[in-house]
Structure 1
Amino acid sequence: MIIPVLIMSAMGILFGLGLAFASKIFKVDTDPKVEKILSALPGANCGACGKAGCAGLAEAIARGDASLTSCPAGGDEVVGKIAEILGVDKCSVARKVARVGCGGGNNAKDKFLYQGVKTCAAANLIAGGQKACSFGCLGFGDCVVICPFDAIHMNEDGIPVTDIEKCAACGKCVSACPKNIISIEDASEKYYIKCLSRDKANIVKNACKVGCIGCKICEKLSKGAFIVENNLSKLDYSKLSDATPLKLCVEKCPTKCIIEAT
């Protein structure tokens, strides 16, 4: 009995020594900066940077193949940490957030009773979804489920709302929305139109209580900062001035589709 035990022990020692020797021979030296950069990144592995994960981005930044601002989820804080690691000057990053371009939800009519799988992707396969407005949110929260930062929640009207403090603008919600109503915008742009319908006013009124009807009241009040094109109002931030009465535009909008983000 003792001989087999000794043989197995000897084999174990030999294999262990072989593995140790192989690890020395085939060791791949890594840039110590990569580990430091990786520790500075959020670690969400959201893929918003275009890489498979944070490790891939850390390697690319260390090689000089990606910029300091490549991580949209990190913001200024992460850029500052990476700049310090690399010994370069920090560059500022304009903070961005996800905006939902629909306020319909319970204020929008359904064109049929949907009884299928409760996801937006599934509902959209059936005649573009149950909503009478072909541009509107389907309300099943695919964007909520996919958000890695817990930054989107459904409100009482059945519409996803972004938590500006938590949102990292990773863009996963944008990809998840089959109606293409979520976009990544500058956080400094507080006012926006919470509607994307390009239907004529009578169609919008029949489908939704809070849709843009292209009445041009905001266009007239703002003296061109708001522009109505294809039956939909848009805010051109390049035309804003201190004299632009944005709050008045919000107040006078008949369907209350102009939103001031808080």
Structure 2
Amino acid sequence: MNPTYLYSLISMGGIAAFLAAGLGFASEHFKVEQDPRVGKVEDALPGANCGACGYAGCEAFAEAVVNGEAPVGGCPVGGDKVASDIADIMGADAGSSDKVVAELLCGGGIKETTKSGKYQGIETCKAAHSVNGGEKECQYSCLGFGDCEVVCPFDAIEMSENGLPQINYDKCTGCGKCVEECPRNVLMLAPLSGQTHIRCSSHNTGKIVRKTCEVGCIGCSLCAKVCPVDAIEMKDNLAVIDYEKCVNCGKCAEKCPTGTIEFQGRWIEKVEINDKCVGCTLCAKACPVDCIDGEVKKLHEIDQERCIQCGLCYEACNVDAVDIFYKDEN
């Protein structure tokens, strides 16, 4: 072998060995120890890596939790169970959170809407929206091609025969991928406890809405006027609900002339306080319209004329002193 080649091989091998030894020394003496809780928190997470928590993935979220940069209940996919598990790992209080799910802001399916023509092209919502807006006359309506169904990682969305997405609340994790995917912005995240939803996103005038959709919001503002807690306001011809204020009394849905507002709860006909009342005042404190009167440790009474039948007093009472009578029971 040529001596030059031999010397080159020996020198290169020596350099490689030296560098390897140096890297081994550096990795051993300068390594950054990872908090073992990071792995435990990551193992407690669902592993969806959906980014709904605001971080790049489950590992990034776990590191943020351990570093005190994210709350233990910051994973909307895992819900209270995962939050409780992470709280045990971190030695913190999980608290409780209201699960959020996807809600549809459109009730105008194939049957309820006026057609503007026949769409011929790539059958995706994004394609139809970018070309001519699909087949529906209303430019705020759901396009119905199911981009949201395709992108949902939990199979929580299924397109109905009427061309509208149906959301399975049991499967929905509130990751928000369908919301991001929808080119018409007719999907939003809302609390699961919310039972009142405005199924429209049109900002057209009532005259135009009547021509394009049977169930669209016509901007009459009757819902806002009848709401006893000011949870609905009109924004550019459209009724918008504030879920934090809404008490799910259903008054707005009863008043809506077009059926735009859907109430998913049970209609309450009457609420009464019985003799089990111990006068703790919890019901009075929970009442959003101050219709419950009574002194401490004495029987309370409900002013039936002012009562809005929301049932919050029933939920607050812990001695079964509140009776609710539902309309469907008669």
Q: Note whether the superposition's TM-score is higher than 0.5.
A: yes
Moved more, 157-166 or 28-37: 28-37
Moved more, 117-126 or 207-216: 207-216
CA separation in 1, counterparts of 2:151 and 2:253?
Answer: 31
**In the alignment, which residue of structure 2 is the partner of 1:50?**
54
Shift of 1:236: 4.0
Shift of 1:225: 4.4
Which amino acid is the alignment partner of residue 150 of structure 1?
A: D
- 1:128-184 Cα deviation digits (max 9, x unpaired): 333211111100111111111111111232111221111111110110000111111
- 1:60-113 Cα deviation digits (max 9, x unpaired): 222223221221211111110000011112222221111110011212222121
The normalised TM-score by structure 1 is 0.82
Q: Call closer, same or farther: CA 1:225–1:63 in 2, change over 3 Å.
A: closer
**In the alignment, which residue of structure 1 is the partner of 2:233?**
227
**In the alignment, which residue of structure 2 is the partner of 1:113?**
118
CA separation in 1, counterparts of 2:191 and 2:249?
Answer: 20
Moved more, 141-150 or 89-98: 89-98
- Aligned mate of 1:36, from 26, 35, 40: 40
5+ long unaligned stretches in structure 1: 1-18
CA separation in 2, counterparts of 1:245 and 1:87?
Answer: 39
Within-5 A mapping of 1:166-181: 166-181=171-186
- Aligned mate of 2:82, from 50, 75, 78: 78
**In the alignment, which residue of structure 2 is the partner of 1:260?**
263
Q: Using CA pairs below 8 Å that are at least 6 residues apart, which structure has the higher relative contact order? A: 1
Q: Secondary structure at 2:37's aligned position in 1?
A: helix
The normalised TM-score by structure 2 is 0.66
Which amino acid is the alignment partner of residue 258 of structure 1?
A: I
Moved more, 32-41 or 220-229: 220-229
Moved more, 214-223 or 56-65: 214-223
Q: Call closer, same or farther: CA 1:245–1:76 in 2, change over 3 Å.
A: closer
Structure index of larger Rg: 2
Moved more, 105-114 or 116-125: 105-114
CA separation in 1, counterparts of 2:133 and 2:25?
Answer: 59
Which amino acid is the alignment partner of residue 59 of structure 1?
A: E
Q: Report whether the alignment pairs 1:135 with 2:140.
A: yes
CA RMSD of aligned residues (A): 2.8
Q: Secondary structure at 1:128's aligned position in 2?
A: coil
Q: Call closer, same or farther: CA 1:62–1:239 in 2, change over 3 Å.
A: closer
CA separation in 2, counterparts of 1:85 and 1:238?
Answer: 31
Q: Secondary structure at 1:105's aligned position in 2?
A: coil
Aligned residues: 243
Which amino acid is the alignment partner of residue 79 of structure 1?
A: A
5+ long unaligned stretches in structure 2: 1-19, 266-330
1:221·1:245 contact (CA, 8 Å) conserved in 2?
Answer: no
Q: Secondary structure at 2:118's aligned position in 1?
A: coil
CA separation in 1, counterparts of 2:88 and 2:104?
Answer: 35
1:194·1:258 contact (CA, 8 Å) conserved in 2?
Answer: yes
Within-5 A mapping of 1:1-262: 26=27, 29-106=33-110, 107-223=112-228, 224-237=230-243, 240=246, 246=250, 248-261=251-264
Q: Secondary structure at 1:67's aligned position in 2?
A: coil
CA separation in 2, counterparts of 1:238 and 1:74?
Answer: 22
Overall identity of the aligned pairs, in %: 45
